């Protein structure tokens, strides 16, 4: 029976999955239970079948192959019973037919017991694996991991042992929502190994960049998610994951507007510095932009919007005017008005930097501030 199964079922040909001794013991136990029940006519005990199901799940044998092996074993056992019956005149055809109905009912019940035990064990193993992966990801993102276990974590999470890596953080609209749903599969198709963790308000992703073009491919996948995402600088060691997570969160906090987009930390270092120091940024707003903020809401909005478009256009009033749908002189007038209110000429690079930093701090304020 064991030789037939090993010959006919692919998974059983790999002795690293199921050893010859393990397969033979399983065949003996299941045959013994079937024959004992047929002899005693007692209540069937499917423990041997359940044990087979549990063992094959733990060994990683596919359920389809496990059930196929069980069918092969049952067919062989019944063939041997029929051959033995034909050699004994006292066994009538009527008795053989009667026993066949009971045998195949018993075989079906045992096959079901194999499947149920297999699925229960597989679910438990999956749950254990997910819990361990979650714990390893938590250790990486919080830094509670030793150098000795970094290699183990990388191997178990399917990540390369060396970077570069990046961290992406996406904003969740509600607790339990997955803003990056489908992204892990898309990254896998792009051959970018990744692991993710869902928090009540954010979804985190640690992504490996194995090639020079990997970062561009990663950004394309994240932009297609239509989520609000912060993207960290590249880093080479997994021990730097907590710092990269902080950078990614700062990038997310500096993402303008309320719509989807991807903000890279390295794209606007000044914005990241402002986001990293909210108390100092609030003081900067008071020092630099308080006269503008004290204006009536409509005028304040026009001036700040024009200032933001002017900075975004690289200091070009003409370009800013086109994006605002106004005349360039209107933009110039509003900029002069800001200079008069703040006492800071925007032609001076030092004061322009102060004004831009304060403007970034205003943009990062909560709506009710």
DSSP string, 329-363: HHHHHHHHHHHHHHT--TTSHHHHHHHHHHHHHHH
CATH of domain 155-267: 3.30.70.270
At residue 93, the pLDDT reads 85
Q: Per-residue pLDDT for the chain (369 aa), expressed as one digit of tens each?
A: 999 999 999 888 888 888 889 899 889 988 888 888 888 776 777 788 888 888 888 888 888 998 999 899 999 999 998 998 888 988 888 888 888 888 888 888 888 988 999 999 888 877 776 777 777 788 888 887 766 677 777 888 888 888 899 999 999 888 878 899 889 899 999 999 998 888 888 999 999 999 989 999 999 999 999 999 999 999 998 888 998 998 899 888 878 777 889 988 887 777 777 877 778 888 889 999 999 999 999 999 999 999 989 998 989 999 999 999 999 999 999 999 999 999 999 999 988 988 998 988 887 665 444
Q: What is the pTM of this model?
A: 0.57
Of 88, 70, 87, give the one whose Cα is nearest residue 34.
Answer: 70
165: part of which helix (H) or strand (E)?
A: strand 165-171
For domain 276-364, the CATH superfamily is: PucR C-terminal helix-turn-helix domain (1.10.10.2840)
User: Is the bond preceding 72 in cis, omega lying within 30 degrees of 0?
Assistant: no
Q: What is the pLDDT of residue 204?
A: 92
Cβ contact 203:197 at 8 Å:
yes
Q: What is the pLDDT of residue 148?
A: 61
Q: Which residues, including other chains, have CB under 8 Å from residue 78's CB and lie 6 or more apart?
A: 100, 103, 104, 107
pLDDT of residue 147: 63
pLDDT at 154: 82
Residues 6+ apart with CB under 8 A from 183: 194, 196, 205, 221, 222, 225
Q: Are strands 261-264 and 202-208 parallel, antiparallel or unpaired?
A: unpaired
C-alpha dist (Å) from residue 287 to 143, 277, 282, 307? 38, 15, 9, 17
pLDDT at residue 365 in the model: 65
């Amino acid at each position: 029976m064991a030789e037939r199964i090993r010959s006919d079922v692919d998974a059983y040909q790999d002795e690293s999955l199921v050893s010859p001794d393990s397969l033979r013991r399983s065949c003996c136990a299941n045959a013994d239970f079937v024959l004992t029940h047929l002899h005693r006519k007692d209540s069937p005990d499917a423990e041997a079948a359940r044990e087979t199901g549990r063992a094959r799940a733990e060994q990683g044998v596919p359920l389809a192959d496990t059930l196929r092996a069980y069918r092969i074993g049952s067919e062989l056992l019944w063939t041997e019973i029929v051959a033995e019956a034909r050699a004994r005149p006292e066994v009538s055809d009527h008795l053989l037919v009667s026993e066949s109905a009971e045998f195949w009912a018993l075989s079906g019940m045992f096959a079901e017991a194999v499947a149920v035990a297999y699925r229960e064990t597989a679910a438990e193993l999956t749950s254990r694996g997910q819990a361990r992966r979650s714990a390893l990801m938590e250790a990486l993102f919080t830094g509670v991991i030793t150098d000795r276990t970094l290699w183990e974590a990388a191997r178990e999470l399917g990540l390369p042992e060396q970077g570069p890596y990046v961290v992406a953080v996406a904003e969740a609209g509600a607790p339990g929502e997955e803003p990056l749903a489908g992204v892990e599969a898309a990254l896998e198709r792009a051959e970018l190994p990744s692991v993710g963790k869902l928090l009540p308000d954010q979804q985190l992703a640690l992504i490996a960049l194995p090639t020079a073009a990997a970062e561009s491919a990663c950004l394309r996948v994240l932009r297609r998610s239509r989520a609000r995402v912060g993207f960290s600088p590249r880093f080479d060691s997994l021990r730097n994951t907590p710092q990269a997570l902080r950078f990614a969160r700062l990038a997310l906090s500096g993402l303008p507007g309320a719509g989807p987009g991807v903000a890279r930390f390295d794209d606007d270092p000044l914005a990241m510095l402002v986001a990293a120091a909210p108390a100092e940024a609030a003081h900067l707003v008071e020092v630099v932009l308080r006269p503008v903020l004290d204006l009536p809401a409509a005028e304040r909005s026009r001036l700040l919007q024009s200032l933001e478009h002017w900075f975004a256009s690289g200091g070009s009033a003409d370009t800013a005017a086109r994006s605002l749908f106004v005349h360039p002189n209107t933009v110039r007038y509003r900029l002069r008005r800001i200079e008069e209110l703040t006492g800071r000429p925007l032609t001076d690079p030092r004061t322009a930097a102060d004004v831009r930093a304060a403007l970034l701090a205003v943009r990062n304020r909560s709506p009710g501030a």
